[in-house]
Structure 1
Amino acid sequence: MTPSQHLKLGLIALVATLVVDQAFKVFMLQVVQITPGQVITVLPVLDLVMAWNYGVSFGMFQQDGMAGQWALVAFKVAAVVLIAWWLWRAETGMTALGLGLIAGGAIGNGLDRVLYGGVADFFAFHITTASWQFQWYVFNLADVGIVAGVALLLYESLLGKRPDASKSA
């Protein structure tokens, strides 16, 4: 793959992540009209719920006020600019794909903050037995893109092949 093909792959991943995330959020909020506290059981281990996240990952640093929300938006914009710069310089398709997924997810969650004042989360995984219960944080498809992108970057940095420097000289 050429650098321009890497960039194209990353941009396709960014747009696809953003579109799928925002389309699902519009569907849940406008068509299903899910409300906070409402639970829609999809599988014995998966529910759709409505949770607004006014903080960052895993609900940390909750920001109820407008100034805090705009500070988080500014942080996301700065992060996306850095990721875009990295994507522009990506040397492998896997790096470009991972960065595109991360950027698409970050833009999707940032757009939520601008449109709604917080991030709309819907997916709740849980396991319940007679003596034990586990529930993961509520998340959305943008978060899935971010986690998948980070996983690709980690995989590549730990196990992936490096571009041959002698070929690029």
Structure 2
Amino acid sequence: MSDASQSSAEAPPRSRRRALVPLLLIGVAAAVFASDQLVKNWVVDHLVEGHTVPVWGEFLRWHFVRNPGAAFSFATGSTWIFTILAAAVVIVILWQIRRLGSVPWGLFLGLLLGGVLGNLTDRLTREPGFPQGHVIDFISTPWMWLGFSEAIYNIADIAIVSGMILFVVISLLGLHIDGRPRERSRAEPAGEHDGTA
């Protein structure tokens, strides 16, 4: 089969994938955002702020706190800065959708977008008010000691951290955001790649 015929045969599946990957991003982001906000609303309605509820002994507990800072209560008192940064991240992700053609990239950006939107919604809508609302944190894992405080976080934080771990893997594998195959190593002879050796 000639190169032209092979390219034309591969084009439709690649085009369909490029069309579906943005839907993956939006679906993952919507699932993360919805679950994050629904659970946070349940926490506010059913848990007492500052009170600890054991779930699995000391491994997992519910501990409702209002976090004015970043993840794990870092940089408290700088809520407006994180609001601006989160809004900027959302804009950048939405701008990158037009280039998106890679499933791993779609999953990464979906996790990141859903998590950022979840915490941004708290900053815009919860007490003490726009744009300095406090983020609802409730998942406590005492064994995950960060050196300066106990780890208390939420579903949005989990999505963001999971997304960043996936981003490291994507970077190590050299995957392109548009779904292009990895570039051939310079040391690899051309014949080994295209079967003409």
TM-score of the two chains, using structure 1 as the length reference: 0.82
The alpha-carbon deviation at position 140 of structure 1 amounts to 0.0
Deviation string 1:113-160 (CA, Å, 9 cap, x unpaired) is 1121110000011239xxxxxx75100000011111111111121136
Question: Any runs of at least 4 consecutive aligned residues in structure 1 with deviations exceeding 4 A, and if so which?
Answer: none
Unaligned runs of 5+ in 2: 1-13, 127-132, 184-197
1:89 to 99, 106, 114: 99
Q: How does 1:49-128 map to 2 (within 5 A)?
A: 49-63=63-77, 68-116=78-126, 117-127=133-143
Q: How many residues align?
A: 154
> Residue 43 in 1 paired to residue 56 in 2?
yes
Mapped partners of 2:101, 2:150: distance in 1: 35
The alpha-carbon deviation at position 165 of structure 1 amounts to 6.9
**Identity across the alignment (%):** 27
> Residue 146 in 1 paired to residue 160 in 2?
yes
| Higher Cα Rg, which structure | 2
Preserved contact between residue 90 and residue 116 of structure 2 (Cα < 8 Å): yes
Unaligned runs of 5+ in 1: 129-134
Mapped partners of 1:156, 1:136: distance in 2: 30
TM-score of the two chains, using structure 2 as the length reference: 0.71
Preserved contact between residue 87 and residue 95 of structure 1 (Cα < 8 Å): no
Partner-residue secondary structure (3-state), 1:12: helix
Mapped partners of 1:145, 1:165: distance in 2: 27
Output the aligned Cα RMSD. Answer: 2.2
Higher relative contact order (CA 8 A, sep 6+): 1
